[in-house]
Amino acid sequence: MTTRENTPTPVRENTPIDLGEALASFDALWSPRIVTRVNDYDVRVAKVEGDHVWHVHDDTDEFFLVVDGELTIALREPAGERDVVLPRGSVFTVPRGTWHKPRSPKGAAILLLEPTGTPTVGDRHDEVPDHVDATTGHALG
């Protein structure tokens, strides 16, 4: 395992990562695990259920891939609010500067692509409930 000087989270490099095994290694909701890095981006997996918080990333887009289940992302756009429903296998990118709120009433497993160090609740957010782990990702395993 190696570490990057500016981020203390160990990441396995040059080793295949089975996403099913990675997701089975933890139970915490809304608490992403970093499975690898691509350049200056974290590839994170998370288990989600219920509501996250309304938040915005001022300087970066946020990429979602639904590995299992279904995820809905509410968006606040100039034309009003809308929901984007993502079934298993779907991808969606929330553009930087867009307020959004992911939710999954029945639960889902997701993969996220975000710049290393990006907080899960963005740069601005509603009050963070106790069940939301507002970090920049945890080491896998």
Q: Which residue has the tokens 């500067």?
A: 97
CA dist list (Å): 137 to 34, 81, 102, 141: 6, 28, 17, 12
Statement: the pTM of the whole predicted model exceeds 0.85: yes
CATH of domain 2-139: 2.60.120.10
More confident residue, 127 or 7: 127
Rounded to whole angstroms, the Cα distance separating 32 from 48 reads: 9
DSSP, residue by residue, 2-40: EEETTEEEEE--SS---HHHHHHT---BT--EEEEEETT
pLDDT in tens, 91-132: 999 999 999 999 999 999 999 999 999 988 888 788 887 777
Q: Where are the domains of the chain?
A: 2-139
pLDDT in tens, 34-50: 999 999 999 999 999 99
DSSP, residue by residue, 96-109: TT-EEEEEEEEEEE
